[in-house]
Structure 1
């Protein structure tokens, strides 16, 4: 799950230069069309969230993260069962090899090597399957968060939402711009409402 904490970086990342532009850009003379447009600057409403806090406290994220972990444990168990079966065959071969003819021993050894290669391919397929499930989960999380932020910003007159935590491009922001708590509450309320809907009408996004 080391990649999941990066998902909101894609959603909310902002270059410092862009933030400066939004705060300090001025309309060019060509933009001023009438005497009613005499503002010396254009004001934008900017807010920020702590993406780590959003992930930790978002109920939907807890659910899909648990599903992914269960899926990973299931796939790991399947691989372990096959690996143990192959190991038993190898042990049997080593125990009886002296009683076999050269041709028999060579045939069994080649068969075991082929099974070992197949097991390695199987392990790679399981890893790729889990990565696809995680990618699908990230895409759904991205869609939910950005959809909510778009609606929330429209209702509250916010023009720009940025990520502000360690590693972000924003080095300082007034605490009055922090909407993390409101976003978490809003996301969880929307998810709770979704769970309350009749099962046939809910948006099923299970990763199984």
Structure 2
């Protein structure tokens, strides 16, 4: 296992040295504060406002139902004394059921709004990534980094991407180790 890690580290170092020695030019880099971008983006603000308004409309409908429930619950104690224990038990069960349904309705409303909002914001983020990529290509940037809430590389020239090489290397290594383990493990016939 130690030999494998050493071979892997050596291979990565050789690839890294190869990449750095073949190109001595300085990279043109920049960064974008992604949190600030989303805070100050008009489209993001419009999406946020849209869902605040939608929340108010949906919430006002539910709020009317909640207020009716609160009035019934407040008068329940008084009515229970007038109508007896059997009525109080039945009405109490009905009120608990309504309260639970109202709670579920509130949760469902919030979840629906969050899901719809998340879909729109994801679409917006994808569009912004494309814009940043196109901008990076147009302006000749090698890398554009993201800071803020989500830190990542937002654009990089394709010729600096060594992902395929690394995947091939680790897959080849995995296959060769798998074959060694298969040979090392005795088969059923060898055990006999």
**TM-score bracket relative to the smaller structure:** 0.5 to 0.7
Tell me if 1:53 matches 2:47.
no
- Residue 90 (structure 1) aligned to one of 60, 73, 77: 73
Q: Which residue of 1 aligns with 2:59?
A: 76
Change (3 A) 1:124 1:155: same
- Which structure is larger by alpha-carbon Rg, 1 or 2? 2
Written as runs of structure 1 = structure 2, the 5 A alignment for 1:31-50 is: 39=22, 41=24, 43-50=26-33
Query: Which consecutive residues of structure 2, in runs of 5 or more, have no partner in the other structure?
Result: 1-15, 154-192
Which structure 1 segments of 5+ residues have no match? 1-24, 32-37, 171-208
CA distance in 1, matches of 2:148, 2:89: 61
Q: 1:95–1:66: structure 2 CA closer, same or farther, 3 Å change rule? A: same
Partner of 1:108: 91
RMSD of aligned alpha carbons: 2.9
Moved over 3 A (4+): 38-44, 164-170
Q: Is the CA contact (8 Å cut-off) linking 1:27 and 1:42 kept in structure 2?
A: no
Relative CO higher for 1 or 2, CA cutoff 8 Å, sep ≥ 6? 1
Whether the aligned pair in 2 keeps the contact of 1:86 and 1:116 (CA below 8 Å) is yes
2:18 aligned residue: 27
TM-score of the two chains, using structure 2 as the length reference: 0.61
Residue 137 (structure 2) pairs with residue 154 (structure 1)? yes
